[in-house]
Amino acid sequence: MKKRYLFTFPPELVQEPIIWQLGRTFAVVTNIRRADVEETHGWVVLELEGSAEEIERAVAWAQARGVRVDPVVGDVLAG
């Protein structure tokens, strides 16, 4: 399956090769569609392709590293 995510990186992670590590550690294909990364912060919109379990594990790993992971649907919660 394919799922779309917004990864937001705090300053301390901007220089870390998180997405490369994620692709090496889990059986998921990463496909970046848009990104904006500067010295102190950054975000990446990407697609993860793999089994549901593997995607879930990969996302949990990224969150544990300190990446904020949001689904790409805009803010569902509003008012």
User: Is residue 78 involved in binding another protein (CB under 8 A)?
Assistant: yes
Of 4, 13, 14, 57, the one binding another protein (CB under 8 A) is 4
Site string for another protein, 47-76 (x = CB under 8 A): x--------------------x-xxxxxxx
* Closest C-alpha to 48, from 61, 64, 66: 61
If the CB atoms of residues 27 and 35 are measured against another protein, the closer one turns out to be 35
Transcribe 26-70 into DSSP letters: SS-EEEEEEEEE-SS-EEEEEEEES-HHHHHHHHHHHHHHT-EEE
- Give least dist CB 20 to another protein, A: 20
